[in-house]
Structure 1
Amino acid sequence: MPLALLALAIGAFGIGTTEFVTSGLLPDIAADFGVSIPTAGLLTTGYALGVVVGAPVLAVVGGRVARKTMLMALMGLFVAGNVISAAAPVFGVMLAGRIVASLAHGAFFGIGAIVAAGLVAPRKKAGAIAMMFTGLTTSTVVGVPLGTLVGQNAGWRVTFLIIAGLGVLAVLGIAALVPHQPRPERTRLSGETAAFRNPQVLLAMAMTVLGFGGVFTMSTYLAPLVTDVAGYAPSSVTWLLVLFGLGMLVGNLIGGKYADRALMPMLFTALGGLAVLLALLPLAAHDKIATAVVIPLIGAFGFATVPPLQKRVLDQTADAPTLASAVNIGAFNLGNAMAAWLGGLVISAGFGYTGPNWVGAGMAAAALLLALLSASLERREGRDGRLVASGTKPVSSDTEDAADVAAAADAERVTAGR
């Protein structure tokens, strides 16, 4: 794999750390600002919504700038947002800092995925995308647990300052390792938006929202779940996050490997397994060992969906991939926002910290149904395409009925002529 993928992974590591670290620090941040756990969960919702908005806007802007330059600028924005969060005097300012940092997220992964895919042979594209996302999953194994540990002992503000430092390191890495990227050929906005008229693109993005969103119903409220329900000490949150991150890392690598071989079967397996595990967690959460087993499995099955879904969008939008790729990253975070918000509502309604997982199971199951629908449409399109290629035009039922009427009329005329 090219060294440039390492630079992209460094940026992904910083972004992943800031995205997920609030899962371990949520009780500390809530106590510091004097807000409830569901209110503090808005830090996840706000971040995710910032990604949803920033992804398409900055992707369009990035279409007029050399991709390497744009990646460096996005990481600069990321650094600024984390510095704001670290220095926030009140909860509202921290939320604003989270949103500023999140604006860079979608466009960075969207543009970065295009750069990564362009660095390798076509048959290795999903693997290259997965390698970039390895920075994100590694952050959950190393960055998030360490960030949680630092935050619990030295204060959560120190954690966000360290994350800002990671962003600076990422800028330097991109400058040194990513090869010069010529300015992309200017594509008319209408050309970029045409991708969204493709039903397969819309289905892939809907799967992204629902499937990956299911993971966040668990991860957003992980700390209170394992302490208040499973009975773990707060200090145990760090190693449980390590297990979760290891699951995500393994799932991402497996998803990247099999997305190049059998994309849809990989999606069916990952989404089906995710739905089952999320439904089991409310029961498993009352036992420490079962909790420690199910949490990393949710991470594995959840992140196994990332490379195949991103590759599916790129495959369907090869002529104008920038906007669609970035919007799909936004779709991951729209799912995150929905999950965090719905999870907060369920908790506030009195269903406890296990309640959000039932919501997540429903989201993952809905994503599986969409995957089955997508595969069915693809088979039908392929069958129709083969008929056209062989010179046989597909006949609709209406056409068949009309043909039957015409044949009957001809028969009458023949009979009358006799």
Structure 2
Amino acid sequence: MPFALYLLGLAVFAMGTSEFMLSGLGPDIARDLHVSIPVSGYLTSAFAVGMVIGAPLMAILSLRWSRRHSLLFFLVTFLLVHVLGAVTTSFGVLLVTRVVGALANAGFLAVALVTATAMVEPNAKGRATSALLGGVTVACVAGVPAGALLGQLWGWRSAFWAVAVVSVPAVFAILRAVPTGSPDSPGSVGPSARKELRALRGPRLLVTLLLGALVNGATFCTFTYLTPLLTTVTGLGSGWIPALLALFGLGSFVGVAVGGRSADVRPVPFLVTGGVALLIGWIVFAVTAGNPAAAVVLVFVQGALSFAVGSTLIARALYAATGAPTLAGGLATAAFNVGGAIGPWLGGIAISAGLGFRSPLWVSALLVALALALAAASVARAVRRRSSRPGQDHCAGAVTTHTRRT
């Protein structure tokens, strides 16, 4: 993999840290800016909304720029709003910086996905995607705990400064490694919005995005409530929590690495096997959540399986929309953030209904089961369509073969 790709991953690491670090900084922000803790929670909600809305919107806006200009604009904007967030004394201003930062994050990730896959061979998109998304998993392992530690030592503002500083090397990497040019040049984003929108009409991409939303919803449904699950159901002390959260992040890192290679070689068997294993894992976790040894093992295993399947689905979305790489990246980002918002919401409903902190595990299992059912229905529909039009499929195959030869 090109070294510049890992520096883009460093920017994704900074952005992932920014997205998740407020979970450990909320009380300090609330106290310093004179708001309640529930109100400080709006900062997380604002970032999530900005990611969902911003991913496709920023992807469309960036189509008229070169990849280099787009990445620079989004990354520098992200960097500057964190500097502003670090110095402001107004909660309202901080809230606005979170929204703008999320928009920049979404736009950067959408363009970075297509830039990363353009840096490698056409059959290596999965590995390029995993190298880029590795930044998110490293943020779970190291970035979020580091942000919490900085907040404890030097206050919550130091975490914002750290995110800005970590983003700087990626700026130089973009200037050095990403070529400039017009939107239609080889080193740029590519086709117009109209052309990309036409290329997104295929049902395969829509199904892939829905699967990604369901799998990610399952992941963050449990991850959001992992701390109360482990302390109240499993019976582990609070001192275990940072290590177990890091273990989940370590598993996700392993899963992204494995999924990236599988997405380029045997994606369908891997998704089927991984999806079934993920479903079984959530069920086993729900049944054995009261056993500390089983819970520790399953925290790692489910983190690995969740991100292995999830990263493979992102890569398949890019493969499914080669004529619309930027919008496909934006929609994949949006779909996964929709899942990241819906999963915790459903888990919260289950807990509020009196089903206990074990219930998010069952919700996660249900979401993965829905994903498998959707995938099976999609495959069955495709088989029926092929069998009902054998003549048309034969002609279409001949035309495709002739086109490739010419």
Match of 1:253 in 2: 257
* Contact 1:141-1:242 within 8 A present in 2 as well: yes
Distance 1:237 1:155, change over 3 A: farther
Q: Judging changes above 3 Å, is the alpha-carbon distance between structure 1 residues 333 and 139 closer, same or farther for their aligned structure 2 residues?
A: same
Shift of 1:322: 1.2
Partner residue of 1:174? 174
1:121 aligns with 2:121: yes
1:16-55 to 2 correspondences below 5 Å: 16-23=16-23, 33-36=35-38, 43-55=43-55
Paired positions, count: 390
1:287 aligns with 2:287: no
Is 1:335 aligned to 2:334, yes or no?
no
1:364 Cα deviation after fit: 1.6
Show structure 2 runs of 5+ residues with no match: 185-189, 398-406
1:355–1:95 Cα change, 3 Å: farther
- Indicate if the aligned counterparts of 1:284 and 1:294 stay in contact, CA closer than 8 A: no
Specify the alignment match of 1:222 in structure 2. 226
- Quick check: 2:67–2:178 contact (8 Å CA) kept in 1? no
The residue identity in structure 1 corresponding to 2:344 is A
* Alignment partner of 1:353 out of 351, 357, 368: 357
Could you tell me how far apart the structure 2 residues matched to 1:54 and 1:330 are?
8
Q: Distance in 2 between matches of 1:314 and 1:103?
A: 21
1:100 & 1:392 partners in 2: Cα distance?
A: 46
2:215–2:310 contact (8 Å) kept in structure 1: no
- Residue in structure 2 matched with residue 97 of structure 1 by the alignment: 97
Equivalent-residue separation in structure 2 for 1:365 and 1:312 (angstroms) = 20
Query: Once the two structures are superposed, what CA deviation does each residue of 1:249-304 show, in whole Å capped at 9, x if it has no partner?
Result: 11111111111111122222233233333334344443333222111222111111
How many Å apart are 1:104 and its aligned residue? 2.0
Aligned to 1:183: 182
State the shift of 1:306 in Å. 3.1
Which has more radius of gyration?
1
User: Partner residue of 2:404?
Assistant: none
Alignment of 1:342-381 (within 5 A): 342-379=346-383
Q: Are residues 204 and 390 of structure 1, via their aligned partners in 2, closer, same or farther at CA, if it must alter by over 3 Å?
A: closer
Q: SS of the counterpart of 1:184?
A: coil
Q: Percent identity?
A: 36
Q: Distance in 1 between matches of 2:325 and 2:86?
A: 35
Distance 1:121 1:95, change over 3 A: same
1:30-179 equivalences under 5 Å are 33-36=35-38, 43-83=43-83, 85-86=85-86, 94-176=94-176, 178-179=177-178
**Deviates most, 206-215 or 41-50:** 41-50
Helix, strand or coil at the partner of 1:63: helix
- Report the secondary structure of 1:120's partner residue: coil
Alignment partners' CA distance in 1, 2:8 and 2:2:
11
Deviates more, 1:115-124 or 1:373-382: 373-382
Unaligned runs of 5+ in 1: 394-418
Separation (CA, whole Å) in 1 of partners of 2:208 and 2:318: 10
- Confirm or deny: 8 A CA contact 2:27 2:37 kept in the other structure: no
In the superposition, relative to structure 1, how do residues 362 and 25 fare at CA in structure 2: closer, same or farther (>3 Å)?
farther
- Report the AA paired with residue 61 of structure 1: L
Please tell me whether the aligned partners of residues 148 and 238 of structure 1 are also in contact (alpha carbons under 8 angstroms).
Answer: no
Residue type matched to 1:264 in 2? V
Corresponding position of 1:405: none
Distance 1:31 1:344 in 2: 26
Q: CA 1:52/1:264 → structure 2, altered by over 3 Å: closer, same or farther?
A: same
Task: Name 1:400's counterpart in structure 2.
Answer: none
CA distance in structure 1 between the partners assigned to 2:167 and 2:44 by the alignment: 19
Whether contact under 8 Å (2:217, 2:364) holds in the other structure is: yes
